Homo-oligomer: A and B are copies of this chain.
């Protein structure tokens, strides 16, 4: 993509409305624009990151055996009256009356709808276990939306629902998702700490929040350092039940529930860090299946309420959370797995014909090699181009200037470390396609 035609409206100044660094950087780097309180347009650069994250989330759901479907954003109020949550949900639910005066709502979550789908279509113990998920926009009418996409009103969520015959099966499904979540966040380049959590409005018996570590995090965590080591070593290949069980036994608490007096972790093993919640999983048994009559015939011919769980990842929130965890004073530093482009190509001297010829040639070669490249071919000075590339945070920068060309080299910069090397065109292509 050529920057001269790309729709990337970057800002030099910090927007006054943005209180947190991810919000500031997303506005400045031209990733998003607000249209109403807590509602955003995802501009081309932001959308690419969002889709990259979404795809990693999807792949790990599929790997865990969950099947993707897509539920609509607008729901009928009737199902929520059946579950008892229509009144309970309060003002965060965006309530709508259609032209025929039917009560509708913009879904904040989908337990009711998926339970209804299940009861209408699946009847036998042979139909379970089943894990179904979708990645869809949700709406929560927050009283005070803030922090950009971290606490927006319209947000993209991946929500999975599991259906099992009994508690044992339901806990297996829960553990599959637990592992899928650790894998997802590891692929995004994050350490995620699973923290035992309250079940709140969803209800139920067992719940973990997944918090990624970031200095600017909203909550303070205390955890046994073993959890970090565990994740680094154990997250490849199949994970057996014992391993999951011991992982879930490792201490991790939010500050409000952490009591130094009773904490079982030795002081030298206890770590504390700030975290941002990016996922939440629940096992809630028959709370919805009982209320809504989602039953299957067991092997013995008797009807049983299915055992359910639900599992959310805030996909759009993750964009902000990743920036909170990956930035410096100059801008964003994207992990390779989610970067909107792999490399930024800077033509340092657009009026120098040799520079332009070399830049155009490298741009073509990178595209031919399938490397996602953003080519700054604009007629602006080198300082503006460098600042812009640092701001948008592509993992690598390739700079073509007159001095380098004389020596036959291109400057190759690692955005995260700041390390610069001088490479020949062939070396650079090898590095980016390896």
Residues in B with CB closer than 8 Å to A121 are 7, 9, 33
A349 to chain B, nearest CB (A): 20
Q: Is A141 an interface residue (CB 8 A)?
A: yes
A139 at the interface (CB under 8 A from B): yes
The stretch of A112-120, A237-245, A277-285, A305-313 in contact with B is: A112-120
Give A139 to B47 CA distance when docked, in angstroms: 22
Question: Which listed residue, B5, B98, B117, B120, touches A94 by the CB 8 Å rule?
Answer: B98
Q: How far is the CB of A278 from chain B (nearest CB, A)?
A: 20
**What B residues does A109 contact at CB under 8 A?**
none
**Chain A window 47-88, contacts with chain B (Cβ cutoff 8 Å), 1 for yes, 0 for no:** 100100000000000000101111111111000000000000
A70 contacts B47, C-beta separation under 8 Å = yes
Complex contact A116–B35 (CB within 8 A): yes
**What residues of chain B lie closer than 8 Å to A113, measured between beta carbons?**
35, 41
User: Which B-chain residue is minimally distant from A127 (CB atoms)?
Assistant: B7
How many copies, total?
Answer: 2
Name A3-58 residues within 8 Å CB distance of B.
5-7, 9, 33, 35-36, 39-44, 47, 50
- Is A91 close to B, CB under 8 A? yes
Size bracket of the A interface: 35 or more
- CB-defined contacts of A40 to chain B, threshold 8 Å: 72
Contact with A47, one of B9, B69, B74, B116 (Cβ below 8 angstroms): B69
Q: Is A106 an interface residue (CB 8 A)?
A: yes
Chain B residue contacts of A39, Cβ below 8 A: 72, 74
Footprint of B on A, CB under 8 Å?
A: 5-7, 9, 33, 35-36, 39-44, 47, 50, 65, 67-76, 91-92, 94, 96, 98-99, 102, 104, 106, 113, 116-117, 120-122, 130, 132, 137, 139, 141, 143, 153-154
